[in-house]
Amino acid sequence: MLEEITKLESPIDVMLLMHKAFHALSERTEKLAARLEGGGDLQAFEEAFEFWAKQLIYHATAEDKYMTAPLTSCQPARDNEAEHAALVEG
């Protein structure tokens, strides 16, 4: 059962909500992609994919700025930022 969030006690609490929303958006986009094999709506998929990609880039950029940048002596944080940079360039 998913954890229900009833209040936000810290800014980090928003991350769980963001991840849940992003997961739902990803699932919707995947379903639209799967439907294309049977003649699904290409325009609906393109719109969903573009929105998904924008959200992914926004999330990665915000995470790098607010979550990992302050971790100055943390190699996993730098690795995460490098993965995000490759994603943006990609």
Structure token pair of residue 55: 């959200």
**Model confidence, pTM:** 0.74
Q: How many residues does the chain have?
A: 90
* pLDDT by 10s per residue, the chain, length 90: 456 767 778 777 787 888 889 999 999 999 999 999 999 999 999 999 999 999 999 888 988 988 889 999 999 999 999 999 998 887
Nearest in space to 69 (alpha carbons), one of 84, 54, 56: 84
Side chain identity at residue 25, one-letter code: L
Angle between helices 75-89 and 42-62 (to 10 degrees): 150
* Residue type (1 letter), 72: T
Tokens 């996993």 identify what position? 76
